[in-house]
Structure 1
C-alpha cells in the first residue's frame, strides 16, 4: 500500500488557508470557489498550523448554535490541534485515523511545516487506482500477456 507522499505527488501540495480573524462567511465562500471541504487555519506570519475548518464545523458549531457566519470569526469555531500525518505515513494508517476519529481531512506536516492536505476522497481514489492496477496485472498474468 502507498503513502501520503504518493497521494501528494499526484494531487499536489497546494493548501488553502486563512487566518483566524477571517469571517466564517468568507471562509465558506472560499471553500465554495475552490470546491473543497476544509480549510487550514494558520498564523500567516509564522505559517504555524492553528486549526482546521470543515463543512462539519460549520454545521455543528455555527448553524446549530445560532451564530451568524458574517459576524463570527473562523478562529472561534475551528477545530484546534487537528490530527496530522507525515508524508511517509501509510494510506492504511490514514484510513484508520479517519475512520476511528470520524474526520475527513488530514493536514500533512513535514519537518514542522505544513506541506499539504489529504481528504478521504483522495485516499479512496488512491486505493481504487491501486486496486485497478493490481487487477490489470493479474489479468495479464493469467492470460499470459505479461512481460
Structure 2
C-alpha cells in the first residue's frame, strides 16, 4: 500500500504559491512557465484558496469578458480539501473522485509540505499494480513469491 508521503518522496515538495492580490495574468504566466495545473493562494502563510486551469476555464466560459488584471482571489476556489502525508493513495483517489477535484495540498503539523495531483495518484497506482502483477506472475510461473 502506498501513501501520500511516497508521492512526495518521488516528486519532491515543491509547491507554487501566490498571494491573494496577485494579478491573474501573473498567475497564468507562472503556471505556463512551470507547466503546472494549479497554484495555492496564500494569506499570512495559510491556504486561502486554490486556483486551477479549471477555475480559469469556468470563469471565461461564464463571463466571456475577463480582465487579466483581476486579483486571483476573485477566481480561486475557497473551499480547499487537504490531506496528510500518511493518508493512503486509495483515500486520496476516493476524495478526489467524490469531490471532483484534481489537486490536494498536503499538510503536516499545520505546515504545507506538498501538493499532489490526480496525475501523481494515478501514476503511483499504476506502478503499484504493475509490481503486484509481476509478483503474481513470478509466483504463478514458479519463480518464487516476491523475488
TM-score (norm 1): 0.92
SS state at 1:10 partner: helix
Residues in 1 aligned to 2:36 and 2:25: alpha-carbon distance in whole angstroms: 15
Determine if contact 1:62/1:69 at 8 Å carries over to the other structure: no
Displacement of 1:144: 2.2
Residues in 1 aligned to 2:65 and 2:97: alpha-carbon distance in whole angstroms: 29
Residue equivalent to 1:99? 97
Cα offsets for 1:34-70 (capped at 9, x unmatched) = 1111101112xx3211110001110112452234342
Residue equivalent to 1:65? 63
Q: For structure 1, which runs of at least 5 residues remain unmatched after alignment?
A: none
| 2:39 aligned with 1:47 | no
Determine if contact 1:42/1:50 at 8 Å carries over to the other structure: yes
Residues in 1 aligned to 2:82 and 2:143: alpha-carbon distance in whole angstroms: 43
| 2:74 aligned with 1:76 | yes
Residues in 1 aligned to 2:33 and 2:142: alpha-carbon distance in whole angstroms: 49
1:9 to 1:69, Cα distance in 2 relative to 1, 3 A: farther
Q: For structure 2, which runs of at least 5 residues remain unmatched after alignment?
A: none
- Runs of 4+ in structure 1 deviating by more than 4 angstroms, as ranges, are none
Displacement of 1:121: 0.3
Residue equivalent to 1:129? 127
Determine if contact 1:85/1:108 at 8 Å carries over to the other structure: yes
Residues in 1 aligned to 2:77 and 2:135: alpha-carbon distance in whole angstroms: 42
Cα offsets for 1:51-97 (capped at 9, x unmatched) = 10001110112452234342211011111130111111111111111
C-alpha RMSD over aligned residues: 1.3
